[in-house]
A and B are shown apart, each in its own frame.
Chain A
Amino acid sequence: MQLWLDAVFVLIMLTNLSLLAASRMRLIIRAAAIQGVLLGLLPLLFSLEGSLAANLGFSAFVLGIKGLGFPWLLTRTCRRVRITPEIEPYIGYNFSVILGIVGLLVSLWLEHRLDLPVRVSGLSVSAAFMTIFSGFLLVVSRKKAVTQVIGYLAAENGIFLFGLSLAPHGPMWLELCVLLDIFVAVFVMGIAIHNIGREFDSVDIGAVDSLKD
């Protein structure tokens, strides 16, 4: 089981890198979807307490929202706002990937330094931190509002992972609440981006600072 877990963590790290390297809207949404599916598998592998049915339900819920719901929403928004398929980064893809790797190193160092009471796997906390860092890097370095949303999603994925690895036996409903929040947030963002795109003919967040005083 440990082997499977570690494999999933490594895969999550790789999806982070592919999020950073993706140059097309389709690719980055797909990477986010894969990350969501991987996260959805985790509750089953952690062998949480409680009935198999509850674990299966949780897993299905996470998978449904993160792996299917969000990507569908994002794709739909992209289509309706007719966003150009390019990502338009502030910093290049190669440099982003290098920064992602630096983030991975920092995460490994953090996991080594952090004195955590429970440890599910040697990689879980590193994977969590790296996902948070990658998410924020996406938020900071990409121009389009949709990529910002994906960045926040990735950051949330990291927080979810961190919570899951710290408290695998913890209250599941808390995770569900957070997930629901994010779901609503993405939903609202989708509508907001739609409206912004209609109003300003662009969802380039670089244009937002023309609104400052």
Chain B
Amino acid sequence: MGLFLASLAVLLAGAVLAPMAGRGRAANFFGATGAFLGSLLGLAFACLQLAAGGEALWSAPWAMPLGRLSLGVDALSAVFLLPTFILGAAAALSGHSALKGQAGRRPLGAHWFFVNVSIAATALVPAARDGFLFLVVWEVMSVAPFFAITLRDEDSRVRHAGWVYLLAAHLGAACLVALMALFYARAGSLDFALLAGGAAGPSVALFVLALVGCGAKAGFVPFHVWLPEAHPAAPSHVSAFLSGALIKTGIYGLMRIQTFLGAPEAWQGYLLLALGLTTALFGILFALAQRDVKRLLAYSSVENIGLILTAIGLGYLGLAKGFGAAACLGLAAALLHVINHALMKGTLFLAAGSVLHGAGGTIIDGLGGLGRRMPATTVAFAAGALAICGLPPGNGLVAELLMLLSAATQAAGRTFPVALAAWGAVAGLALVAGLALFAFTKAFGLSFLGEPRSPAAAGAHDPAGGERAAPLILAGLCLAAGLCAPLLFQAVLPAAAIVARTYPAGAAEGAALGTASLTWLSLAAVGLILLVAALAFVRSRLLAGRPVGRGLTWDCGYLAPSPSMQYSSGSFAAPMTGLMRPVLRTETDLAAPEGIFPARAAIESETPDWLLESVSEPVFGAVARFCDALKALQHGRTPIYILYILATLVALLAWRLG
């Protein structure tokens, strides 16, 4: 535990030193170094803790009422610490060189303060062993990123994104405060050890509050609205951390709180399964329709959170229905995907940051042909995209395979409704995986292949230093995680056992099945890599000594082909967006060519998030209006403030005596 505290101390030291060093290069150096070293220490601790097993505990006296300053890291917490610290380190590495050029022009000291505090708070959430402390660090984790997101606060869209993020985070936090208050009322204590002993008992209201509170953080539909707003607006290293690590605390909260509520019941499994599949489908469909790479990635995070939720749903269903194998596989899949998605999405967001830096934008219709101009970024993005589509040898397939195994074990030989749900999950997963392939083919193909669609893209170049290295390192980790899948599976089994509390019979068989399948998967991946390497070798041998020229692709008899003839993001996705019009509600504005010699034709299509417009914005608007109305009480007239105090005191006295 000393290592964990040291990591927090280094993170916070970086947070304090950076603003003291001003807003220039020194601040950038201190902040990033603190974040990097602190994250590495924390990562070492999390790995050692996972290897050692058991629970490391630490507590200190605290003068706050209700709360205790008590920390503990068991296997479940350690699994969630991994993405936080890996992405913390990667974000520090990438952010340091990305922000170098802005030294002195933007308040880098304050920025790193909030980044480091975000990392520390995100690490403390899984480590908190007291409800009050949990709420405090959750709140810090919710507020600090607001300032990290709004680094470019001169842009009104960035400010808007920051407010949407803050509102969503606080609606979630409000539910968690209510949840902890109810826990306190029922159990008389917020000590997690006591609550895990079942002091509060099962309750539908508590489960729903946890689902909404954690869902707003994780981004379940319809609470996902802040993700596609905040991720494109934030600096890329912050988006990578938010999307890879911070939203996972929602998943952690849901899992940890479930251990206080006793064994999950079947309806919870069905609910999470349905919610997860809806979220995944919704996320990937909207990802498909996006024109901005970072928005696309944000929707893809929604999809992956949906997949994790589906896996938890399968696990809970297995627990409730007594299929130990399915429960073990489902829960392990959820935990593995937490780690794997962090690696993949970190790679992709950092690579997208390099694109933003190198090509001046992330709107797909202004990119193209980056493959030859930004080779390092292309390799990283390709590796991340392969992995997230669930193609071997990436790590995205691991959890999907385990989920399919879990669903198949549950469906085999069972009857309605379990079999229906399980087969539904299989079908849903297959659909999501296919759509993900479509979406990322679009993101990668249109951005990195073909010809540049804008002068900025034509002049694109790889960034230097850490900004170039960080996505490559994460891409390497994606590959490694894919190849070491059986080991990682073994590593998360104790954490899955904590979520399950007690497995029904069959868990051991499930673990064995998972290990065996993943071993085959790893071997197949190694075989695939060898095959590709062999083919590349053969190709280079065949081409050796021959002139290799470069020509137009698919000239098709055009007289003067131009980059604008390439697929645009809208036209590439059109077959699928057309099919899914009832869900996506894409708005198309078409000025069709007229006459024999048409002078002008144009088409514009936009896919706004109708859930944001029709559900979330009215709710947020109502909350904002209510808060604005409260401002009438805060008018700055001192005498009236004193009147409030006097009136309160007299009323209290009268109430006490009357």
Q: Which of A's residues lie within 8 Å of B, judged by CB?
A: 90, 106, 110, 113-114, 133, 136, 139-142, 148, 205-206, 208-209, 211-212
Q: Is the CB of A208 within 8 A of B638?
A: yes
Q: Is the CB of A212 within 8 A of B636?
A: yes
Q: Is the CB of A90 within 8 A of B639?
A: yes
Q: Which of B's residues lie within 8 Å of A, judged by CB?
A: 635-640, 642-643, 646, 650, 653, 657-658
Other-chain residue from B635, B646, B650, B658 in contact with A140 (beta carbon distance below 8 A): B646
Bound complex: CA A208 to CA B639 (Å): 11
Interface of B is mostly: helix
Q: Is the CB of B642 within 8 A of A139?
A: yes
Q: Is the CB of B650 within 8 A of A106?
A: yes
Shortest distance between the CB of A106 and any CB in chain B (Å) = 7
Q: Is the CB of B636 within 8 A of A114?
A: no
Bound complex: CA A173 to CA B637 (Å): 36
A residues in contact with B658, CB < 8 Å? 113
Q: Is the CB of A140 within 8 A of B636?
A: no
Bound complex: CA A136 to CA B638 (Å): 12
Interface of A is mostly: helix
Known contacts A106-B650, A110-B653; decide if A209 and B642 are in contact (CB<8 Å). no
Q: Is the CB of B642 within 8 A of A206?
A: no
Bound complex: CA A68 to CA B638 (Å): 29
Sample (24) of A-B pairs whose CB atoms are under 8 Å apart: A90-B639, A110-B653, A110-B657, A113-B658, A133-B646, A136-B642, A136-B643, A136-B646, A139-B642, A140-B639, A140-B642, A140-B643, A141-B639, A142-B639, A148-B639, A205-B638, A205-B639, A208-B638, A209-B635, A209-B637, A209-B638, A211-B636, A212-B635, A212-B636
Shortest distance between the CB of B652 and any CB in chain A (Å) = 12
Other contacts beyond A139-B642, A141-B639, A209-B638: 10, CB < 8 A: A133-B646, A133-B650, A140-B640, A148-B639, A205-B639, A206-B637, A208-B636, A208-B638, A209-B636, A209-B637
B residues in contact with A209, CB < 8 Å? 635-638
Which 7 A-B residue pairings sit nearest by Cβ, starting from the closest? A212-B636, A209-B636, A113-B657, A140-B639, A140-B643, A136-B646, A209-B637
A residues in contact with B653, CB < 8 Å? 110
Bound complex: CA A148 to CA B657 (Å): 30
Shortest distance between the CB of B287 and any CB in chain A (Å) = 40
B residues in contact with A113, CB < 8 Å? 657-658
A residues in contact with B636, CB < 8 Å? 208-209, 211-212
Residue of A nearest to B635 (CB): A209
Bound complex: CA A175 to CA B293 (Å): 71
Residue of A nearest to B645 (CB): A136
A residues in contact with B637, CB < 8 Å? 206, 209
Bound complex: CA A142 to CA B643 (Å): 12
B residues in contact with A90, CB < 8 Å? 639
B residues in contact with A206, CB < 8 Å? 637
Q: Which of B639, B642, B653 has the most CB of A within 10 A?
A: B639
Residue of A nearest to B657 (CB): A113
B residues in contact with A205, CB < 8 Å? 638-639
Shortest distance between the CB of B505 and any CB in chain A (Å) = 64
Shortest distance between the CB of A198 and any CB in chain B (Å) = 20
Known contacts A106-B650, A136-B646; decide if A114 and B640 are in contact (CB<8 Å). no
Bound complex: CA A160 to CA B19 (Å): 48
Bound complex: CA A148 to CA B636 (Å): 16
B residues in contact with A141, CB < 8 Å? 639
Shortest distance between the CB of A114 and any CB in chain B (Å) = 7
B residues in contact with A208, CB < 8 Å? 636, 638
Shortest distance between the CB of B424 and any CB in chain A (Å) = 54
Bound complex: CA A209 to CA B653 (Å): 30
Bound complex: CA A90 to CA B638 (Å): 13
Residue of B nearest to A113 (CB): B657
Other-chain residue from B638, B639, B643, B657 in contact with A114 (beta carbon distance below 8 A): B657
B residues in contact with A106, CB < 8 Å? 650
Bound complex: CA A142 to CA B642 (Å): 12
Shortest distance between the CB of A108 and any CB in chain B (Å) = 13
Bound complex: CA A209 to CA B640 (Å): 11
Residue of B nearest to A143 (CB): B639
B residues in contact with A211, CB < 8 Å? 636
Bound complex: CA A206 to CA B639 (Å): 9
A residues in contact with B640, CB < 8 Å? 140
A residues in contact with B642, CB < 8 Å? 136, 139-140
Q: Is the CB of A139 within 8 A of B657?
A: no
Bound complex: CA A194 to CA B650 (Å): 33
Residue of A nearest to B653 (CB): A110
Bound complex: CA A136 to CA B643 (Å): 8
Residue of B nearest to A212 (CB): B636
Bound complex: CA A136 to CA B650 (Å): 12
Bound complex: CA A208 to CA B635 (Å): 11
A residues in contact with B650, CB < 8 Å? 106, 133
Bound complex: CA A211 to CA B637 (Å): 10
Bound complex: CA A113 to CA B654 (Å): 9
Bound complex: CA A60 to CA B26 (Å): 64
Bound complex: CA A139 to CA B637 (Å): 12
Bound complex: CA A46 to CA B640 (Å): 37
Bound complex: CA A106 to CA B646 (Å): 13
Bound complex: CA A109 to CA B643 (Å): 21
Bound complex: CA A56 to CA B658 (Å): 40
Bound complex: CA A113 to CA B657 (Å): 6
A residues in contact with B638, CB < 8 Å? 205, 208-209
Bound complex: CA A113 to CA B653 (Å): 10
Shortest distance between the CB of A127 and any CB in chain B (Å) = 17
Shortest distance between the CB of B125 and any CB in chain A (Å) = 32
B residues in contact with A136, CB < 8 Å? 642-643, 646
Bound complex: CA A88 to CA B617 (Å): 47
B residues in contact with A142, CB < 8 Å? 639
Shortest distance between the CB of A103 and any CB in chain B (Å) = 9
Shortest distance between the CB of B600 and any CB in chain A (Å) = 51
Shortest distance between the CB of A48 and any CB in chain B (Å) = 28
Shortest distance between the CB of A56 and any CB in chain B (Å) = 36
A residues in contact with B646, CB < 8 Å? 133, 136, 140
B residues in contact with A140, CB < 8 Å? 639-640, 642-643, 646
Shortest distance between the CB of A96 and any CB in chain B (Å) = 13
Bound complex: CA A208 to CA B637 (Å): 7
